[in-house]
Amino acid sequence: MFKQTFKKFKKVNPLSDLQEVIDLDNYDANNSTNGLCNIVNPKDISEMDIRKSLDFPVGLQPLRMWRCYTLKKHPGLLIIRNPFTFRGQRYWIARSLRDYPLPPNTVNLDAKHFSSKTISDWWGELHHCTNPNLVHRLKTAMRWTTLGYHHNWDTKVYDKTMHTPFPSDLCYLSKYFSLALGFPNFIPQAAIVNYYPIGTSLNGHTDHSEINHEAPLFSYSFGQTAIFLIGHGTLEEQPSAVYLRSGDVLVMSKESRLCYHAVPRIMKALEDPWNNLFTNPNEKLDTFNSSMNFELYDQLNDELFWMPFNRYVTDCRININVRQVYSSDR
């Protein structure tokens, strides 16, 4: 069932199939016709309560404006529909492209196909490249980078000896979401940043390499739109399809934590919220959180600085997937 559904959505022009995809922007239709999703309140924690332990991170809309959904057939799965401001989106996009792929983090680019200069500064090379064929090659070759505890894709285990510092900004953001959604004990320890040029996909899998399966998994999507398939404990059961759009935060917790999931298709987004300068024109930066890169945040208001990042997300999607690997901080 899962594989058939995956194939159906991966096909190039299945306009009729797209009607099945749950569209959180069309909540009323989804809710009244077949009751697929629910709108829920973020946990009963007020902004005041969170503020006692964490300052509000810049780049997010105030908690009271978040729209948070659950899918009726998939308990434990939560989706917050884009709680980011336009500059917040730009910040995470720029960090994922310019900074996170840098050493000592690991990227998928290998020495057989790329020079050590490209492997160690992929974004720098892409940014300065003027040959259209090489731009295309560089752009489509980058598929993932890993942060914190690094996952070994061959053995499917986290290698304890392969650990690099987890970015403080991503740690802070994930802690904020975990607190707001009622998972106060979550410790961000590992992340995979996935890069999806339009036309690419991610096969069905479960994320079970982490030792601690009680902890939720936080996933941030930016750029172009994904069709995300969420299934159940086996490949025999029918998955549901839901659009993940730029800024959406997906949480796999409890029953859904070990369920099959996949990204069969990346589609051109109808809007580009990373350029919607009206989402927070008068953002106050006086409480700027020291875990974030202030200089970068400031530069992202400059359209010229933003241009190369904009070019990338015009036909690509980025997904940052944050996990807790072990039961405690080591």
Residue ranges for the known binding site for Fe cation are 205, 207, 261
User: By C-beta, is 206 or 279 nearer to Fe ion?
Assistant: 206
Q: Give the SS3 label for residue 275.
A: helix
Q: How many CB atoms lie within 10 A of CB 278?
A: 6
In sequence order, the β-bridge partners of residue 191 are: 147, 322
Q: Give the SS3 label for residue 224.
A: coil
Annotated binding site: 205, 207, 261
Q: Is 125 in the site for Fe ion (CB under 5 A)?
A: no
Q: Give the SS3 label for residue 239.
A: coil
Q: Is 321 in the site for ligand AKG (CB under 6 A)?
A: yes
194-223 residues near Fe ion, rule: CB under 5 A:
207
Q: Give the pair of three-digit tokens for residue 238.
A: 């029918």
Pattern 116-155, ligand AKG, x by CB under 6 A: ----------------------------------------
User: By C-beta, is 126 or 230 nearer to Fe ion?
Assistant: 230
Using alpha carbons, list the distances in angstroms from residue 254 to 170, 181, 207. 22, 13, 13
Pattern 195-224, ligand AKG, x by CB under 6 A: -------x----x-----------x-x---
CA torsion through residues 152, 157, 163, 164, sign = positive
Do 273 and 222 meet the contact criterion of CB atoms below 8 Å apart?
A: no
Q: Is 306 in the site for ligand AKG (CB under 6 A)?
A: no
Q: If you count them, how many residues does the chain have?
A: 330
Do 172 and 57 meet the contact criterion of CB atoms below 8 Å apart?
A: yes
User: By C-beta, is 166 or 306 nearer to ligand AKG?
Assistant: 166
Pattern 261-290, ligand AKG, x by CB under 6 A: x-x---------------------------
Q: Is 79 in the site for ligand AKG (CB under 6 A)?
A: no
Distance from C-alpha of 233 to C-alpha of 20, rounded to nearest angstrom: 21
Instruction: Choose which of 106, 145, 178, 319 interacts with ligand AKG (CB under 6 A).
Output: 319
Q: How many CB atoms lie within 10 A of CB 213?
A: 12
Q: Which residues bind ligand AKG (CB under 6 A)?
A: 192, 194, 202, 207, 219, 221, 226, 228, 244, 261, 263, 319, 321
